[in-house]
Structures are given as C-alpha cells and as structure tokens.
A and B are shown apart, each in its own frame.
Chain A
C-alpha cells in the first residue's frame, strides 16, 4: 500500500514535470490578446493607423489593419492609444548597489551579483516603458566585469534575466594612471593571459602525449577575457575622451575582439572615425555639450546625435538622470529629432538598435510576426512630453498598468489633507484620548 502511494506520487510528479517541459510558457501568456489601437509603430515596418496587434502564446502572431481576431481572444479596444515595441536601455549601472569595484582588474565580477530587483530604479524603468536593459559595471574600472540583460520586472535576478552574461566592461578612463599607464596595464594583463593560455596548451599537449585529458580547470577569474578573445562576449569599452576611441579600436584590432563603444561627451570629435569603421556605439546620456574656443572664447554647442547622424555613424541612446529629460528614452529620441535626426531613426535608436547591440533583437526591439510580445501602449505620440506609458506587456503578459500605479498617483496628485469637519466623532475621541494621557512630570 505504501509503495503504491509512493509510486503514484512519483508518477504524478513525473507527469507534472513532463507537462511543464512541454509548456514552457507561463500560464498568463497562453491567453490570446488582441490590441485594437489607433496607431501601431512596429519600427521594422511602416506605421499602421487603426490596426490590431494579435498576441498568442507570448508572441506577436499578426499585426495590421486586416487581422482576423480569434473568437477566444481577449480584446483590448484602445482607439486613442499607440502601440510600439518597448524601449531598450543598452547600458546602465543603475539597479546595482555600487557600480565599480575598487581594483582595476576584475573581469570576473558580474553585475548579476549586484542587482537589486526591488530597487526603485527598476520600478521607474518599467513605468517609463523600458522592457530590457543591460546592467553592466560602471566606467571607472579597466576590466570592470560582465553584464546581464534583464527586464525590469521580477522578484529575483533569475526571473528578470533576459540574457545572462552579456558584455565585458572595459574602461579607457585613466583611473589615477596616465593614459600610458592605463594601456600598459591592459597589455600586461593580455600578455599574462596569453602566457597562461600557452602554458595550458603545453600542458594539454603533455597530457595528450600520455593519453590523458588535462585535469585542470580554466582559471575562472580569466574566463570572461578568454571569452572576449573567443568572441563569445562583446567588449563594452568606455571612452571618456575622443582620444580614447582610436586606442580602443587599436586594442580591438590587436587582440581581435568585438567592440561596442560607450562614449563620453567629448567623443563627438571621433564621430567620423566611428562611422568609417562602422562600429556600434552608445551615446552619453547628456546629448549636448559645449565647447569653448580657447582663443576666441566663442561658445559652440555640440549636438551629439546631429554630429553622429551627419557622420553616418550607427548609434543607440542610453538614459541617466543628468538632466530633466535624459532619464526617458523617448526624450533622448525627441531631442535628436529636434536637431534634425529623422523620426524613424531616432525611434530605432531606442528600440531596435540597442536590441541588436545586446543580441536580443530576435525577441526585442520591434513588433514583427513571430517575435516575442514585449511592447508598450502609449497615450499619445512617443516623442511628445505629454504622452505616458499606459501599459507594458512582457512576453504577452501585461505587467504594468498606469491606472493601477499607486506610487505614480501619489507623486502626481496633491496629498489630501485630513478634513476634521467630516469626522467630528473621531476628533472628539482623539481629544479625549489626549486628556486621558498622563502628563510626564
């Protein structure tokens, strides 16, 4: 009898496991949702007026004006709303407890270990329509560590993870060293790594000669840099000044690794070089900078997206709280449009391009048939300051609704004063309570 019940439990567990393996999608995403909206901005294709986005099993299965809505679909009729793919943040260290380690060579640390899922930053990011972001160590460390692509939703790092182990952060910022010293340190590390790899190869050959396998694991402190050289990881190289850009390129050529440039405000001077080499880059959060001509004291405003567009460079925007607007991806795009960037390109630079940079464009960055439904519903045009994120859908599941955002409500509506007149009884009570209180002597 007892063995039988155990058998039964085991069978039940097994079938449950098989069932869950067969249905990898979460329960909510099995539902069919049809979004009937005033405008669809799919990014990868032209805008659609009065269209439908059909979401099934977490994927976009149809979009357009002539979409047949299945009888069992949950229809959201939103004629005054705009749907577009959620914004992608290609580079940030917010959401970590501290951005930088205090020693220069820490390629083995990972932002995943420092992530604070409940930090208000992720709450704000979701509210602002960001659906995926690369959290990666800061700009102060030579070999800063590896990043992780997360969605700003979930209680645990695992739940948030979109793409683990993405990008190794390198920094050209001279942290106390001279530029010579910084590069010497970099090369020294690389020479030591090459020595290590050669030594390992030698040992492997020796073991092979004996007919054995080398019984020694790779030093996991070096693993991310080895992966960088094997092109399993991209280097996100921070360049503080324009002069750092050619050096970063030189290092990438010399050691043969994939390069993504994370640019400082001064780097507009290297725009042509970046365009010629067709390097992917991320503009700084502050999109304008002033240059004072040392001789004439003439003030020249440099609009970064304008300069990079004119140079023909391919870039993505990042956000940070450096000005009122720069925390919003849409503001960055609108600012670029203000100075002549095309609307299409500007919108791509906050959606598709950063998704490509992070190698998540198979799931994020545009609304296409077969792609995961990671989208936002806006109250108006994405480039207008008066537009709000009304809903956020992650993998077909609505995870944010403005109507239910209590914190936002509290931040926008005046706090109500307690009105004594409406509740005289309670006031009486509290007065009595005060009287009864023994006075301290």
Chain B
C-alpha cells in the first residue's frame, strides 16, 4: 500500500518536474568544447536552458529530467557567423534607383524560406550579416539574421547592424555618361568615377552636418546622424589601398569613429594604420583573382594573418566568393597562409559577433548567450572534419545523419 503511494507520488513529482523543463532544455556532453571565450574543455558539458547557455565546463551540475546528448567523439564550438553574405533574400539586393538610400533595410527583403540560408545552416553557419549590396554609394542598413527560426521576426537579430557604403569604383560601375543620346534611364547619373562616388558620400554627410544644406528625407537623416554620432557603424566596402585611405580621410573630415572595412583585399598594405584606428575588417573573399581590369587589387595570400598580427580584429564573409565556400574552409585556408589558430576561431565566432554588434547574444558559449553551436567530427581547422549537427537556440536545425 505505502509502496504504491510512494510510486504514485514519485510519478506525480516527475510529471510536475517535466512541465517545468522547457522544450529547448538540453544537456550536451562532448569530447571537446571550444567555448572560444576561455580554454578548450576536454570531456565538457554544455547545459542549455530556455534556448540559452546555462552552464559550460568540465564539472557542471547536470539538471535532472533534461534530455542528454552524448557526443564523446565530437567537438563543439559556437555557431559560425558569416560576417558578409548576399544570400537569404529573394530578388535583387541593391535598390538601384538611388545612389544614397540610408534608411533602406535589407532585413525587409529577408526570405525565411531561403534555400541558401538552409544550406548555410548545414555548413554550421548560424548567423549571417546581410548587406544591401555594392551597387549604390550608400546602400542601406545591414542586418544580422539567423539561418533558421520559427518566424522572420525571430530570425532577425538586428535590422540595423551597420550602414553599408562603398568607396571605390564599384558603386559607379553601372552608371553612364549621357553622350549624345537623350537620357532614358536613371543610370545616366553621377557617379561614374571614383571621385564621383566620394562626392556622393561626402554630400550625404554634409546634408546632416552642415547648416544650409538641402535636408534629406527624415528617415535617411536619422540614420546618417546616428553614424556621425558613432551609434551606428559605417561599413565601407573597399577593395584597394587608395579606397581605404579615402575612407579614413572622409572619416576624419566628418569625425566618424565607428567604422568597419569590408573586402579590403589590399588592407595588408596599411595594416598598421587600420590597427591604429582600431577599425575591424570583414574579409569577404580571401583571394581576389582579378578580372584583368585596372581596378583589380593586388593579391596577398596572408592578408588575414598580416592584419591579425598588426592587431586588427577580423571576421570572414562568403559574399563575392566563387563556389560558395564554407566558413570552415575559409578559416583552414587562412590558417594555411599564416593566420594563427586562435585568430581563425575567433574570426569565425566572437570577433564576427563583436564587429556586427551582436556579441551580447551570440559568438561564444558563455552563460546567458544563445545556445547556438555546431557539432564537428574533429578539429574545426582540419579539412577532414565535417559539420555533424547545427543547433540554434538549443534546437537542432541540421543533422548530417
């Protein structure tokens, strides 16, 4: 009689406890955990509560009644962050009707069903920075989005990660000089040269910093003012060294302190100056093989390594790259050419999160951050290691098997 009562009570208690456990609560035991913030943990335990990291370490109290995933042969690291992607949206990214469109939000073009985002999740990428492309001088606001999620709103980490601009020849590439024919498209406009691009950029910042300038659209003005005040990073795509120098000149002119450089193939030439200014760099293509154009930047295999050595914070992006490389391959190749191991791992995770301004939520496995992580079959920088599982907020979004 008493035994039966005891069983019933235990059963009820178990039911009560089970209801207290959240759907996304999880305990993962892995052969190696690379929390990035902190040393690697051998035979570590990761406790996930309510989609967040609750605890991580070798000696961690494991809550009862929570499903346990045993991965004794695997390595766990934070979800990879692609700091520059042009995928995940339907249709064209750049709004080409205007050269300066600060309030355009690329997050509004996000397609949560995008096949590319699902591909990225399969490659261990849990968050990407979407940029509005390089066709306009000021393209709009970059967004940080997760590669999977229940709703579009849930996937958007921030729709205001940075203001995208271009310094260089690219933004002018489609524009034409009206020559005899009567202009019949809006492509007959400035800029058609490098100096024209800079003029447009300067004009945009003049409009919010100088008295008596024609006032821009209030929404645009708000974004530009946030950049001038340093609240919003200005993310500038620069290919050649002269573009980097021009960017710094404009930054000095308008007192812009919150800068991020993107692409930056020739950044190795001015690594010390970039480091001195504490400007992070997103390398969205490790090598640019050139197209024979005079604009072709000089290649350096160890651009990443030189920047890191000079003290520049770097991250990787996959936009612009042929064949859509996965981030782990980027890191392995950068490592081959001289980027130290720790810098590689940070570039994939915490550095990318910091550059994108989302380090409070993602980028490392520490208590309180989102439980976004990848399960790898071996060392992340070994080409023979594969992504076995991807978790977003403690929920499995990809399983190789």
Contact = CB atoms under 8 A, between A and B. Distances in A.
Interface stretch (B11-19, B113-121, B187-195, B196-204): B113-121
A301 B332 contact: no
Interface in B293-345: 299-302, 306, 309, 321-325, 329-330, 332-333, 335-338
A325 B301 contact: no
B323 A323 contact: yes
A414 B306 contact: yes
B119 A414 contact: no
Nearest to B378: A338
Interface string B257-299: 0000000000011010000000000000011010000000001
B322 A299 contact: no
A338 B302 contact: no
Nearest to B336: A385
Interface residues of A, number: 27
A8 interface: no
Nearest to B333: A324
A79 B366 CA distance: 43
A427 B353 CA distance: 45
A94 to B, nearest CB: 12
A165 B277 CA distance: 59
A66 interface: no
A1 interface: no
Contacts of A326: 323
B383 A299 contact: no
A197 B107 CA distance: 67
Contacts of A299: 115, 118-119, 122
Nearest to B309: A414
A297 interface: yes
Assign chain B's interface to a size class: 35 or more
Given A339-B386, A385-B382, A414-B268, A322 B323 contact: yes
A321 B382 contact: no
A286 B323 CA distance: 8
Contact of B383 (A301, A335, A411): A335
B306 A385 contact: no
A336 to B, nearest CB: 9
Contacts of A383: 383-384
Contact of A297 (B113, B325, B336): B113
Nearest to A323: B323
Contacts of B73: none
Contacts of B118: 299
A420 interface: no
Contact of B301 (A321, A331, A337, A412): A412
A337 B384 contact: yes
A321 B115 contact: no
B231 interface: no
Nearest to A326: B323
Given A338-B383, A338-B384, A338-B385, A412 B337 contact: yes
A413 interface: yes
A260 interface: no
Contact of B333 (A286, A297, A325): A325
B115 A324 contact: no
A323 B321 CA distance: 8
B383 A322 contact: no
B66 interface: no
Contacts of B302: 411-414
B273 to A, nearest CB: 11
A415 interface: yes
B300 A411 contact: yes
A67 B338 CA distance: 37
A384 interface: yes
Given A338-B383, A338-B385, A384-B382, A411 B301 contact: yes
10 contacts: A323-B321, A323-B322, A323-B329, A324-B330, A325-B383, A334-B383, A385-B333, A411-B299, A411-B300, A414-B306
Given A322-B322, A324-B321, A338-B377, 12 more contacts: A290-B119, A321-B289, A323-B323, A323-B325, A324-B330, A325-B333, A337-B384, A338-B384, A385-B336, A386-B336, A411-B299, A414-B268
